[in-house]
Amino acid sequence: MLIDTNRLLADARASVSRAPVPEDLALERGAPDRALDRFAAVYGLALRLGTVGLGAIAAVLSLAPPVAPLWLVPVLGGLAVWCLLFLSVVVRHGLTHRLVVADSLIVCAILLLQGHLVSAAELPNSSAWLLPIATAAVLLAQLRLRPAVGVPIGVLISAADALGQSLATNFQPSMLIGAGILVIQTGLAAATVQLVRRAGRAAELECERQAEQDRDAQVAAARRADEREHFRQLHDTALATLTMVGSGSVRSGSAILHARAASDAAALRALSTGPSRTDRQERLDDRLRSVIETEAADLDIAAALPVVSVRADVAAAISACVGEALRNVVRHSGVDAASVGVSVDRAGRLRVDIRDRGRGFDVRAIGAHSRGVRESILGRMADVGGVAEVLSMPAGGTQVVLRWGDGDRRG
């Protein structure tokens, strides 16, 4: 049976590159602008209702000629109705552009009627109750509209204030104070809002850049882990079988070799299907029995395998480690017997022991290039959050201990 391992590895690696970006790394675009818009809605609503309410009280308390209730009461009533409409729109749709423009035009119209709404004593000093209402309109325009629209509206409100005072009485230079204050407020508010928006967008871009770096790092780590698993599978399957044939452990026409070749082909094909669902439970004892039948057909195995269920990825990792340990017994121990035992302590921690009484070896002599122990056993257990330990000495046999425990098993 011929197996195109290059194609199988390419298919498996492509499955990693198609993996979706983790949800915790996905960044919502425009978040700073939306946060500022929400603030503008709350602040704008409080500003409009507050200035109209306080202004109405000040207007009533400062009622004096030429102000007449015939003018003041309808204007205050109209402002009250406008506040209710303003509240309704903000609650349902937020601080919309049209609402802000309408608010500015209404304020401009009221400012032109200052001669009927503000006492003659207050007009020259620009201390009328209408100034806070006009200030609110200026700030709302800068908060919600683009500078190309908001700044001209602020200037328009300032001009309406100056014109309204001029129409009410003879022009005096002090009348320009209120209009000047509104112009300054327009410029400062527009500049501040733009600085805040730019800072928010710069922060958003930096977050996107950092998220992209984190995503790339995670993808690179996943690919490296995927490649390590591919090498482990190749080492544990096709390369192990070829080593057995080359060393004369099995004959080319034996039934054992045919069974191993079929098992190797299935394992290599599985590389392109991706990892198993980690939330699915599997019987570890069943998997270990299958591994013993495949990898230790020539050994006398003393197996103690109680019924234990673990996550699918953990079961796959442990069974692969046991398979590699048994292959090492066949190839290197010089004995024909070994034991495999599974136990679970009271805390729910799982332990698997593979022992032989063979010739053993010096654990310190394991080189960095040795994939059989470092990758197929130690590295594989580390990838699923477990620990593997190899205990051996020359002429003292070998013991491989696999430990895993997070409470996610069923006995």
Read off the CATH number of the domain in which 366 is found: 3.30.565.10
C-beta of residue 338 within 8 angstroms of C-beta of residue 301:
yes
DSSP string, 382-408: HHTT-EEEEEE-TTS-EEEEEEE-SS-
**Residue, of 404 and 228, whose pLDDT is higher:** 404
Per-residue pLDDT tens over the stretch 361-377: 888 877 655 666 888 88
Query: pLDDT higher for 314 or 2?
Result: 314
175 shares a domain with 304? no
Identify the residue with better confidence: 212 or 261. Answer: 212
Q: For the chain, what percent of residues have pLDDT higher than 90?
A: 43
Same domain, 287 and 176: no
Q: Which of 162, 187, 208 is the last residue of a domain?
A: 208
Instruction: Please give the pLDDT value at position 229.
Output: 67
Of the listed ranges 103-112, 178-187, 334-343, 372-381, the least confidently predicted one is: 372-381
Task: Please report where in the chains the tokens 């996610």 appear, as a residue.
Answer: 408
**Which of the given ranges, 83-92, 389-398, 401-410, has the highest pLDDT on average?**
83-92
- Could you tell me if residue 393 is inside a domain? yes
Residues whose CB is less than 8 angstroms from the CB of residue 183 and which lie 6 or more positions away in sequence, other chains included: 154, 155, 158
* 83 Ramachandran zone, left/alpha/beta (phi>0; psi -120 to 50): alpha
* pLDDT of 235: 61
Average confidence score pLDDT of the chain? 81
Q: Using H for helix, E for strand and C for coil, what is the string for 246-294?
A: HHCCCCCCCHHHHHHHHHHHHHHHHHHHCCCCCCCEEEHHHHHHHHHHH
Which domain covers residue 196, as residue numbers? Answer: 25-208
Is the same domain home to 52 and 176? yes
Please report which confidence band the pLDDT of residue 220 belongs to, taking 50, 70 and 90 as the band edges. Answer: confident
pLDDT at 87 over 60: yes
342 DSSP β-pair partners: 352
Q: Are residues 204 and 281 in the same domain?
A: no
Q: Which of 74-88, 124-138, 163-177 has the highest mean pLDDT?
A: 74-88
Query: According to the model, what pLDDT value does residue 243 have?
Result: 62
Same domain assignment for residues 56 and 151: yes
Share of the chain above pLDDT 70, in %: 76
Q: Are residues 30 and 168 in the same domain?
A: yes
pLDDT tens-digit readout, 25-71: 333 447 778 888 889 899 999 999 999 999 999 888 888 877 888 99
Is residue 246 one of the residues assigned to a domain? no
Residue 402 maps to a domain: yes
> Per the domain annotation, does 390 fall within a domain?
yes
- Structural domain includes residue 162: yes
Confidence check: pLDDT of 260 > 50: yes
Quote the CA–CA distance of 224 and 203 in Å, as a whole number: 31
Question: How far is it, in rounded angstroms, from Cα 199 to Cα 201?
Answer: 5
Any idea what the Cα angle at residue 230 is, between residues 228 and 231, rounded to 5°?
A: 65
Residues 283 and 197 in one domain: no
Residue 260 is assigned to a structural domain of this protein: no
SS3 assignment, position 96: coil
Contact predicate 391/401, CB 8 Å: yes
User: Helix, strand, coil shares of the chain as percentages rounded to 5?
Assistant: 65, 10, 25
Given 190, 208, 226, which residue is the final one in a domain? 208
Higher pLDDT residue, 330 or 124?
A: 330
> Are residues 202 and 54 part of one domain?
yes
- Identify whether residues 279 and 202 lie together within a single domain: no
Q: Are residues 196 and 66 part of one domain?
A: yes
pLDDT of residue 21: 39
Q: How many domains does the chain have?
A: 2
155 shares its domain with 30:
yes
Domain endpoint, select from 174, 191, 208: 208
Phi, psi of 344 (to 5 degrees): -130, 125
16 in any annotated domain: no
What does the block give as tokens for 132?
């806070």
Q: Does the predicted TM-score (pTM) go above 0.75?
A: no
The residue-averaged pLDDT of 374-390 equals 89
Instruction: Please check whether residues 204 and 60 belong to one and the same domain.
Output: yes
Alpha-carbon span 42 to 32, nearest angstrom: 16
Q: Say if residue 8's pLDDT is above 50.
A: no
